[in-house]
Amino acid sequence: MLYREVNFDGLIGPSHNYAGLSPGNIASGQHKGEIASPRQAALQGLEKMWRLVQLGQEQGVLPPAPRPDIETLQRLGFSGSIPEAIRQAYRQAPHLLASCYSASTMWAANTATVSASKDCPDGRVHFTPANLITTLHRSIETNYSAAMLKRIFSDPAHFCHHSPLPCQTDYADEGAANHTRLCSSHNQPGITLLVYGRGSDSPVPKRYPARQTLAACEALVRQHQLPAANVVIAQQNPTVIDQGVFHHDVIGVGHRNFLMLHQDSLFNQPQVLQQLQQQWQQPGHFRGEPLIITEFNEDILSVRDAVSSYLFNSQLISLSQPVLSNPSPDDTQSPDTDQMLLLAPTNCQASDAALKAIDWLITGDNPVSAVEYIDLTQSMNNGGGPACLRLRVPLNQTELNAVHPGAMLDFTLYNRLKSWINKHYREQLTADDLADPCLPVEIQAALDELTEILELPRFYPFQV
């Protein structure tokens, strides 16, 4: 049975704003307090999803968490009616109100760690929702994400849902942003590369938090029962964390048998890459194709330029993946070559260094043969590029058939979502707008209608 990688993107929610909530995420700090456009943000995210469909990919949509998170506001001591709790929070602690309003579930790469059924002994796809405990606004995603994933991937014959790791700093987990699955084809078991920033006695960054721990990676391997021979756990280089690489997917991306990363991404990088090659070639594991690793040194692209352009947060799209079904209208292309496309953020076009590096990449000895740019400025200004917005789930046709069908993007859904965004989303949102008592009412109406569009009745707590 044919397997392929399916991207599920977080639909950008109506409260998208710039609150500077993420220390160590340079864009989040730089754009703090700016006027956000939730409508533009959501349309940009939707266009990215639709482009993937046009490229012959299966593409799923994950609904946003309900915001503001009233329960968290109450737990933080803001009491009374919803408008009253919001008023108090705005007056006393606006950053807490912003945290409860954050649209951060858009960055689906942080929603969970996912292992392919080909990699797990029980032949099911395994999910562990990330606890995201490093920041308040992201930690409040977990309960929602766990329930949402169970609803979208509901069939226990195919999907196994684990509890999030314990909410304790030793188990800080940021999900698939620190996970890369390397395989010669999705039909074969892959190597799971997990990257952490903080371990028992490893060097730690001095300036910014290391968000993922070694203990979390080890626990994920145990939960998913991944065979040790197919796992590599590596440490992020603390010096790149201190330059703004708050997740590994800001400095490296892998797809199938290809891994591209900055030369300074990992601690002891030469040894890690050697281990990957050794495990790739271990006896009894037929891989079919070589593992191709392309390292960018400082002369090709500095860490600084990598962080500002987000080149490594591009999506790599295999243009030779089998098309399992064809949900698209007439203008859909299904290229049939052995090449990969780099879907890069338009920020790369504004950087001479990134453009040169991309040119070096696509003319080099590796599978990337083309580049395309996508405008995700609204999300990018919060440090979320193309790869941050998607959660990758390798699936075969039977598994794909078991996914909630209303979440799979086709031309009709694309158009319905576009109209829905244009109808409900504000053109602009500022920090002061979060105090507007009309905003929660507007958001609730929008999400209520969304659940009809996605065929998810009684999905949000306010609907039960």
Which of the residues are catalytic?
A: 174, 247, 388
Question: Toward ligand SUG, which CB reaches closer, 25 or 230?
Answer: 25
CB of 433 to ligand SUG, least distance (A): 14
Q: Is 138 in the site for ligand SUG (CB under 6 A)?
A: yes
Q: Which is nearer to ligand SUG, 124 or 255 (CB)?
A: 255
**Segment contacting ligand SUG by CB under 6 A, of 20-28, 139-147, 182-190, 257-265:** 20-28
Residues 89-108 that bind ligand SUG (CB under 6 A): 102, 104, 107
Q: Is 179 in the site for ligand SUG (CB under 6 A)?
A: no
Dist. CA 30–CA 226, nearest whole Å? 39
Contact status: 413 vs ligand SUG (CB under 6 A): no
| Min separation Cβ 430 and ligand SUG, Å | 12
CB of 14 to ligand SUG, least distance (A): 14
Rg (CA), the chain: 21
**Smallest gap from residue 247 Cβ to ligand SUG (A):** 4
* Nearest CA-CA partner of 175 in 124, 232, 115, 228: 115
Q: Take residue 314 and report the two structure tokens written for it.
A: 């591009």
Binder of ligand SUG out of 28, 105, 192, 347 (CB under 6 A): 28
The answer to the question of residue 22 lying near ligand SUG (CB under 6 A) is: yes
Assess 111 for contact with ligand SUG (CB under 6 A). no
Minimum Å distance from CB 21 to ligand SUG? Answer: 4
Closest to ligand SUG by CB, 95 or 416: 95
Least Cβ distance, residue 379 to ligand SUG (angstroms): 8
Q: Is 120 or 388 the residue whose CB approaches ligand SUG more closely? A: 388
- Within 10 angstroms of residue 33's Cβ, the number of other Cβ atoms is 11
- Residue placing its CB nearer to ligand SUG in the complex, 104 or 185: 104
Positions in 149-178 near ligand SUG (CB under 6 A): 177
CB 45 within 8 A of CB 409: no
If the CB atoms of residues 250 and 324 are measured against ligand SUG, the closer one turns out to be: 250
> Nearest approach, Cβ of 241 to ligand SUG (angstroms)?
12
Total number of residues that touch ligand SUG (CB under 6 A): 22
Contact between 67 and ligand SUG by CB under 6 A: the answer reads no
Q: Which one of 149, 250, 301, 393 is in contact with ligand SUG (CB under 6 A)?
A: 250
By DSSP bridging, strand 159-161 and strand 125-129 are parallel
Q: Does 253 bind ligand SUG (CB under 6 A)?
A: no
Note whether 21 and 137 are within 8 A (CB): yes
Based on the shown chain and the rule CB under 6 A, indicate whether residue 307 belongs to the binding site for ligand SUG: no
Tell me the residue type at 69.
Answer: D
In the bound complex, what is the minimum distance in angstroms from residue 19's beta carbon to ligand SUG? 4
Q: Please, which residue, 209 or 327, has the CB nearer to ligand SUG?
A: 209
Site for ligand SUG (CB under 6 A): which residue of 8, 18, 101, 420? 18
Q: Which stretch binds ligand SUG (CB under 6 A): 4-12, 22-30, 40-48, 259-267?
A: 22-30
Tell whether residue 20 is a contact of ligand SUG (CB under 6 A).
Answer: yes
Segment 357 to 386, residues that bind ligand SUG, using CB under 6 A: 382-384
Three-class DSSP labels, the chain: CCEEEEEEEECCCCCCCCCCCCCCCHHHHHCCCCCECHHHHHHHHHHHHHHHHHCCCCEEEECCCCCCCHHHHHHCCCCCCHHHHHHHHHHHCHHHHHHHHCCHHHCHHHCEEEECHHHCCCCCEEEEECCCCCCHHHHCCHHHHHHHHHHHCCCCCCEEECCCCCCCHHHCCCHHHHEEEECCCCCCCCEEEEEECECCCCCCCCCCCCCCEHHHHHHHHHHHCCCHHHEEEEEECHHHHCCCCCCHHHCEEEECCEEEEECCCECCHHHHHHHHHHHHCCCCCCCCCCCEEEEECCCCCCHHHHHHHCHHHCEEEECCCCCCCCCCCCCCCCCCCCCEEEEEEHHHHHCHHHHHHHHHHHCCCCCEEEEEEECCHHHHCCCCCCCCCEEEEEEEHHHHHHCCHHHECCHHHHHHHHHHHHHHCCCCECCHHHHCCHHHHHHHHHHHHHHHHCCCCCCCHHHC
Q: Which is nearer to ligand SUG, 125 or 387 (CB)?
A: 387
Binds ligand SUG by CB under 6 A, chosen from 69, 249, 264, 399: 249
d(CA 173, CA 165): 7
Tell me which residues touch ligand SUG (CB under 6 A).
18-22, 25, 28, 102, 104, 107, 109-110, 138, 177, 246-247, 249-250, 382-384, 388
